[in-house]
Structure 1
């Protein structure tokens, strides 16, 4: 069983994912905006009660590591690491861009997927994934024109809120479903670090150009 945690945005969520049946068996999700630190641990207790399970039955923890809210990411990662250390199980980090890409990758796309998240300030967080899920670029913060160039270069399928941002369309924040986080977390190696992915700091400028992942 996998304890799934997402505090990367305004939503605070926890769930129990059964990798054997490929299903989310319990979940709680609340839109808080702020207050993740105070709510997360009680929420984990609640979801365990809902599932009729204990922390000792968890075999790993999957937590979203960003890009997203600086404060939220720190809360989720710290909780995941602390619980994993006390339980002696792995805590693996799942990026929000991986979750955005998963909704397209799971249907077997005919082309690479450009996962994108509206980062505001005329920026878009983006990363390119091959149809088999392999990351072809590193995650980065890009200008709108750079994202258009990335899509053109890879002849990619643009997914996520960045697509609406490019079109100037009003949109909700990206959702990061716990079942997808759990599914990704289940297939990651045990040594995948649960380390924050911030991409940019306060006042940072958009990344210029884009980098192909070295293999």
Structure 2
């Protein structure tokens, strides 16, 4: 099995390659607003280093968000550009689901709240039960107005947090899990173990209405 997985939904680009059922390459790089320039060259370079012909890829996994509107759309376009000509399977995944599974330890029945930086002072969030099954749809909030739901002491918070939000959560004496932001190797592992749901529908997960839909 050969799998290419990558995430363009945040400033930090992540890519992993599974070749002959072994992870042969992991890449993490801050790209921010340079995805349009570097995404395809980085994917091609990674395949070259892995000595993997694109025609030999069995499956491409790409993030559907939530996250950067532009990054998500560029990632999906790249996945289609690589996969469609060679009839490679392409599946999308939800970042929140992956992050919920990044907590490996026993959480004693607590619920998990996954947080991902959105724009300016806003964050996306989604809650999961202790079995990592979603309880609510992805929503958003500004740091200045934490949802009342967060004040439940039976919650564990994880995800892509900035210092300001960490201070706010600690001020309320809420439990923060010290997980690192996931990489694409975790996505491949969860996919192979069938622990995360993927979809053939490559529609981006938009929490806010995107400007392209307004015009």
Shorter-chain TM-score above 0.5: yes
- In structure 2, relative to structure 1, the CA distance for the partners of 1:83 and 1:61 (3 Å cut) is same
State whether residues 13 and 40 of structure 1, in contact with CA within 8 Å, keep that contact through their aligned partners in structure 2. Answer: no
Match of 2:202 among 182, 194, 201: 194
After TM superposition, the score normalised by the length of structure 2 is 0.76
Q: How many residues align?
A: 195
Matched, 1:109 2:115: no
Counting only pairs closer than 5 Å after superposition, residues 52-91 of structure 1 correspond to structure 2 as: 52-91=51-90
Q: Is the 8 A contact 1:67 1:96 kept in 2?
A: yes
Contact 2:65 2:94 in 1 (8 A): yes
Q: For 1:45-56, what aligned pairs fall within 5 Å after superposition?
A: 45-56=44-55
- SS of the residue aligned with 1:160? strand
Query: Match of 1:35, SS?
Result: helix
1:212 matched residue in structure 2: none
SS at match of 1:107: coil
Contact residue 67 and residue 117 of structure 2 kept, 8 A: no
Q: Could you state the TM-score of these two structures normalised by the residue count of structure 1? A: 0.76
CA distance in 1, matches of 2:44, 2:185: 18
- 1:89 is displaced (CA, Å) by 2.7
Match of 1:152 in 2: 152
Match of 2:173 in 1: none
The answer to which of 187-196 and 121-130 deviates more is 187-196
Root-mean-square deviation (Å): 2.8
Structure 1 residue 79, shift from structure 2 partner:
1.0
Greater than 6 Å deviation, 4+ residue runs? none
Note the C-alpha offset of 1:152: 1.6
| Secondary structure of the corresponding residue to residue 34 of structure 1 | helix
In structure 2, stretches of 5+ residues that fail to align are 170-179
The CA deviation string for residues 136-184 of structure 1, in whole angstroms up to 9 with x for no partner, is 211111345554414628x221112458515248xxxx83411122223
Deviation per CA, 1:29-84, whole angstroms, max 9, x where unpaired?
Answer: 32122221221222112111222211122211111121111111110011112322
